[in-house]
Structures are given as C-alpha cells and as structure tokens.
A and B are shown apart, each in its own frame.
Chain A
Amino acid sequence: MEVNKKAYEAYVKEVTPVNKKLPNIIKAFLVGGIICTIGQICTTLIMNQGVEKDTASAWTTLILIAASVILTGLNIYPKITKFGGAGALVPITGFANSVVAPAVEFKAEGQVFGIGCKIFTIAGPVILYGILSSWILGVIAYVLKAFGIV
C-alpha cells in the first residue's frame, strides 16, 4: 500500500467527524448536576429526620442505585446516558447501571456463568482497582506513620 500506516492514521483522523463537543459538555453538566441534586435532596431529607451525615449518604447511595436499576430495567437509563454521556456515567447510578445491565443481558446463560460472572464485567475492574489503590495508599500511609513521617 502506497500510504504508510502513520500517514493513514493522521488522514483518518482528518476525515472522521468529531462529536459535537460543546453540546455534549453542556448535556453532561446538566444530567450530572441533576443526578447529584437528586442525591442532595435525598441526603437533606434523610438528615432532617435526625440521621447523621454519613448514614444519610449511605442511604442516598442505596436509593440512587435502586433507582438506576429500575430505570435500566425499563430501558430508560441507556437513553439518559446516550443523552448525558459522562453526566450519567460518572455518578454512582452509572456504576449501578454497569452492574445490572450485564446481569439482565446474560441471564440467558444461567445463574452462575451468566449472571454470576457477567455481573462483574464492567463493575469488577472498578471494585478491583478501587480496593487495590486504596490498599496501596493505606500501605504507604502505614509505613509513613511507622517511620513517624506523618
């Protein structure tokens, strides 16, 4: 082929239309903002019952997850993500969506190898690297503390 691969890559970049950036950012802002506001409303309402903040946050997390699962089941959450992009991906509801979506999809392949394995396909890495990174940071903090540095 007369065009080399590097030149082709640059050429492809040139002819491939890019997503409209500004509208996408605005939509992400709106959707993400709305989801977080709903979260804040939940937290505030629960705290008004005399519950302390961390517990109220935990309840909020549960409520948002449950809502996301239902919206995914009703095929609404994918539409929200399609519109809002990162706005629907970044909040905890996006994480819940990534758990329930493969579980529903792979149900046909059985309880263990279908739902059981595939429920972690997207969320598994999040859990693994979240736990791993916080562990590494914990080890560093532990060592620093042992040497009296912090």
Chain B
Amino acid sequence: MQVGKASIKFEEPPVIESMASIVGKKEGEGPLGKLFDVVEQDDMFGADTWEKAESALQKQTADLAIEKGDVRKKDIRYLFAGDLLGQLIATSFGTVDLEIPLFGLFGACSTMGEALNLGSMTVAAGYADKVMAMASSHFATAEKQFRFPLGYGSQRPSSSSWTVTGCGAVILTKHRKEGIAAITGITTGRMVDMGIKDSMNMGAAMAPAAFHTIQQNFDDFNVDENYYDKIITGDLGQVGRTILLDFMKNKGHDLETIHTDCGIEIFDPDSQDTHAGGSGCGCAASTLCSYILPKIKDGTWKRVLFVPTGALLSTVSFNEGETIPGIAHGVMIEHIDN
C-alpha cells in the first residue's frame, strides 16, 4: 500500500529467510569481528586482481546465503545486487555463475537499501517468491578507483572513512510466519545535495539525505523516533552522525540513544585507525547481516529503521568541480513473533 509521499507499507511483509556476511581481515579484527559468517584472511580472496577478489567475495557470500537458508538456487527468481565499481564489474562478473536473473544496482554505499527496497517490492507484489539482495565493496578496488593507488602515500584527514572489504546478502521470501525478520515498509530516498565538495568528508555529504529520508519516513507513516528501537544509518561515520542528530534535534526528534551507524559499529577508530568510520556498500550490507538482523531475530530490537546512505560522486564529477549529492533509502525491519 502506498503511504505518504515516498513510502510503501507491506500488508503482507516479505520475510528475510537467510543472510550471510563475509568480510576481510581488518573488518574481522573490528568490534563486530566474531559476528560475521566468514572472515577471509586473504585480501585477494584467492584471485589475482582486486576486482576479481571483490567478485569472488560476492559469489562466496551469495553461495553462503543460499546454503544457510537451505534454499535452491533456482527458486531465487531475481537478484538485486551492486557494488561501487564503474559499470558494476564486481557484481556482473561475480554473479555470472549464479545464473539468477539480475538487476544490477548502483546506489553508491546505499546499494543495500536500494536492493532491499526493490526486492521487497517485488516479493510483496507477487512478482517473485524469493529474491536475493546483495551489496559488496572492497577497500582496494574502491581506493584504486576513487582515491590513489594503494602504494601511494598520503595522509587521510580525520573526517575521512575507510572502505569496508565485505559483502552482505539476504534472501527475501514472500510473507510467512517464520524467518529472521520481516520488512514491513520502505521509504525510498531522493537525491539531496547540500553543496559539499570535500570527498574526504562523505559523512557531511550524506547526513542531509539520511535526515530527509528519516523525516520522510516519520511523516509518511505518521510516527516518530519512539516507534523504533533503533534507527541505523549506513556509513555516516562520526561527523555525519553529529550532523544528523543536530538536524533531527532541530525538528524536535532526539535520536541520541536510538541512532547508530554501521560505519561507526564496524571499526574501532582508536585501534584500527579508520578515522570517521567504515564506508562502502559492504559496510551497511555486512553489518546488517551480522549484527543488526540477529538482534532483530532474537527480539533485542523489535523494530528497526535501516537507512543505508550513499554519496553519489564519480572521479569525473569530482574533477569537474561538481558537488557530492547524497541519497539514503529507508527499510523498516521488524521482529517476527512466533
């Protein structure tokens, strides 16, 4: 059912029936380290280039989600997946062997939110019984594409983030009484451009988008922060969180205690030197599938608004002096009472 301006409420909420997360070594050493399904010690994932490594990461994660859910591959009707690389090469090469009809998505670091939005719409509408949503990022491919070659020395400002090497995948299935969690509604974000040009401060570029989507969600569903146990953004980092909380406070919403951010959760900035936090599609996706969903499943949190955030820039737009617009997609995830 369409609600408000940008939201959908699912009368028969699609259910997350399987999840998988695989991350790299550094993520495995972080605070969430024990929660991931697999921590791969080899940053190359057995491949000989970084791009192939990220593809291998996607393939392994998809296979694991299928295996954990005890689902037959051919029963998954659509795959909604994406990564950060130009022309989505990590996804397109990584998912060849899956032989699942693919929608390749680019939402920068918000891709997992976009995939869950589209996936749950597809399932809820009855166009598929099962779909998979997946997103990945790899520190080396992202660094190489957006910043500098790895061997090049540079100092990162304290507002910069660290691209997560990781992938998260979930299998959504049509409404039923058991599963990990249910997706009860979505709020799709729109582009928000506040004129930020500093690519080393993505949190500031994305925070207004997260604010806009959360506010839109509150308006559309006529709820406020008390409706949720947690509101979890994707990769705003410390700077972005500060801005989001300030913006929300101006609107009379106190998110101090219920807000957290995957980018803040996944690394320990003091011991891991990651500055403002983690980023990349894999940040929100792997945190969702290791930390957030299990907590919803066991009832610690009954209702979560998951808001992956993305900064939509390319090296071309950046070099041409363009600003960095942001986007954020909201997904309402709820505990299933058995």
Question: Is there a direct interface between A and B, measured as CB atoms under 8 Å apart in the complex?
Answer: yes
**Interface status of B49 (Cβ within 8 A of chain A):** yes
Given the complex of chains A and B, what is the CA–CA distance between A133 and B148 in angstroms?
26
B244 to chain A minimum Cβ distance, whole angstroms, is: 11
A-B contact count (CB 8 A): 94
Given contacts A15-B239, A82-B154, whether A104 and B194 have CB atoms under 8 Å apart is: no
Given the complex of chains A and B, what is the CA–CA distance between A104 and B148 in angstroms?
12
Instruction: Report whether B195 and A8 are in contact in the complex, using a CB–CB cutoff of 8 Å.
Output: yes
For B144, the chain A residues whose CB sits under 8 A away are 105
Given the complex of chains A and B, what is the CA–CA distance between A101 and B140 in angstroms?
13
Instruction: Report whether A17 and B158 are in contact in the complex, using a CB–CB cutoff of 8 Å.
Output: yes
Given contacts A8-B194, A18-B158, whether A104 and B149 have CB atoms under 8 Å apart is: yes
Instruction: Report whether B150 and A5 are in contact in the complex, using a CB–CB cutoff of 8 Å.
Output: no
Report which of A12, A24, A101, A118 forms a contact with B243, defined as CB distance below 8 A. A12
For A33, the chain B residues whose CB sits under 8 A away are none
Instruction: Report whether B153 and A80 are in contact in the complex, using a CB–CB cutoff of 8 Å.
Output: yes
Q: How large is the interface on B (under 10, 10 to 19, 20 to 34, 35 or more residues)?
A: 20 to 34
From DSSP, what is the main secondary structure of chain A's interface residues? helix
For A15, the chain B residues whose CB sits under 8 A away are 204, 239, 242-243, 246
Q: Mark A109-126, 1 if CB is under 8 A from B, else 0.
A: 000000000100110000
Number of residues on chain A facing chain B (CB within 8 A): 39
15 A–B contacts, CB within 8 A, in A order: A1-B192, A1-B208, A5-B194, A5-B195, A12-B243, A16-B201, A17-B239, A18-B158, A77-B151, A78-B150, A81-B154, A85-B155, A100-B151, A101-B148, A101-B150
Residues of B within 8 A of A (CB): 48-51, 144, 148-159, 192, 194-196, 201, 204, 208, 212, 238-239, 242-243, 246-247
The 8 closest A-B pairs by CB, nearest first: A81-B153, A105-B149, A101-B151, A5-B195, A101-B152, A78-B153, A101-B149, A12-B204
